[in-house]
Amino acid sequence: MLQPIEVRKVLLQKVTDASGLEELIDKGTFRADDVVGVVGKTEGNGGVNDYTRLLADRAFREVLVAKGTRSWDQVRQIPLAWSGGTDGVLSPHATIFATVPAESAPVTDEFRLSVGVAMSDPILPEEIGRAAMIEKVAAGVRRAMESAGISDPADVHYVQTKTPLLVLDTINDAKRRGHKVWTEDTLESMDLSNGTAGLGIAVALGEIEMPADDQVMNDRSLYSSVASCSSGVELDRAQIVLAGNVRGIGGRYRIGHAIMEDALDIDGVWQAIRNAGLDDLPVDCPHPRHLKGRLVNLFLKCEADPSGQVRGKRNIMLDDSDVHWHRQIKACVGGVAAAVCGDPAIFVSVSAAHQGPPGGGPVVAIVDLG
């Protein structure tokens, strides 16, 4: 039977700080054994060798083991999707999803937040960027939908994945077994893994038909409007956290999404917040004060526009040899979205191939309806 969801955001005072999670457990907000997933931002470089993700991951899992009854092997199966890089004003934090007993949550027949999680089958290095990975991610997303009690893809508003990327060891492993990888550029493989996962989400939710291998990273008209995909060295399969709304599950929270058409699209951010349930916001010139503490968090994907322009004006993000565009666009969109909600502790992730339109990306809001 589905249980209501409690969702809380905690700040990270250092890379290995899991005190926010520990405090919520100690206060009885939820039990350690009821945590079903975490989505967080760490303060590293956001690149292939960003080991802050590993440090945060270890810290949070240690608390779940120490405070609960699950074994280390069981806790390892909980999706903890860490995205590295808090460029600009972005602040390291984590959003924690846990189930709570039905009697402890508000009862309502209205749509409220439900969360499902899943792990895909192992993804081999030679499958990254190809149909095999798309199919494995899609199968995992369908399992996550089932665990969330969602049958209609229209009720899914956010799918966060964490998938493996390529490093020298895995590239050589594929070669030893007689296979060729899509790319030997490990940083490019981050974009590739994210994009392939985005296509898997889109296939699972019926947003697109199954693409051909040569469409991956090339046909940018193919995308998911609810995908947020990250990748790293710390896993060999897709971790999937899926969030949507279910009628009658109860609880205080609701989720919605929209699309930022470009890096400056503040209207897209406000639309996501409205779609999540804050429909009392002013139509013209909304301000952070109108949120009244009801916004739990924002989750955004972004990328430098492949045209090298924003609203017809040239920028040099894609030509800059000193600072990679990943970091520049993350800082830009993070500043825009933080100004909208008045809070720099928001989830902004870069590399949005097949996740929203070129130069834009999905934006997701979770709100507390009380």
Catalytic residue list: 162, 230
Neighbours of 284 (CB within 10 A): 4
Distances (CA, A) of 106 to 35, 250, 292: 19, 6, 20
CA atoms within 13 A on the CB side of 63: 23
Sign of CA dihedral 355, 2, 111, 208: positive
Q: Do 340 and 258 touch, CB atoms closer than 8 A? A: no
CB contact set of 196 (below 8 Å; sequence gap of 6+): 128, 129, 130, 133, 134, 137, 163, 216, 354
Buried b (16+ CB within 10 A) or exposed e, 96-133: bbbbbeeeebeebeebbbbbbbbbbeebbbbbbbbbbb
> For residue 328, which phi and psi values (nearest 5 degrees)?
-70, -45
Strand 295-302 with 347-350, pairing: parallel
Strand order in the sheet with 295-302: 253-260, 361-368, 295-302, 347-350
Q: Whose CA is closest to 100, among 119, 114, 111?
A: 114
The SS3 assignment for 351 reads: coil
In this structure, are residues 93 and 234 in contact, taking their beta carbons and an 8 Å threshold? Answer: no
